Structure 1
């Protein structure tokens, strides 16, 4: 492990929360897109 890498324990809480929020937003957008495609093809 290089000196530039951090363990999860050393990572700031706001950084972890930001990454989680981005994943959640992306997954919601994908879900809405799939839902819209389903309505379009019906």
Structure 2
């Protein structure tokens, strides 16, 4: 496995991890906003 292939592999994994983290934070943010709306209604 060449050095360039290794860099591509590491970059692909980093991109995947960052994507998962961003999706996780987006879901958490959406859930917290939904809770805020429910609190205002009550």
Task: State the TM-score, normalized to the length of structure 2.
Answer: 0.73
Count, aligned residues = 32
Unaligned runs of at least 5 residues, structure 1: 1-10
RMSD value, Cα: 0.4
Between structure 1 and structure 2, the one with the greater Rg is: 2
Unaligned runs of at least 5 residues, structure 2: 33-42
Task: State the TM-score, normalized to the length of structure 1.
Answer: 0.73
Which of the two has greater helix per residue?
2
Counterpart Cα distance in 2 of 1:20 and 1:27? 11
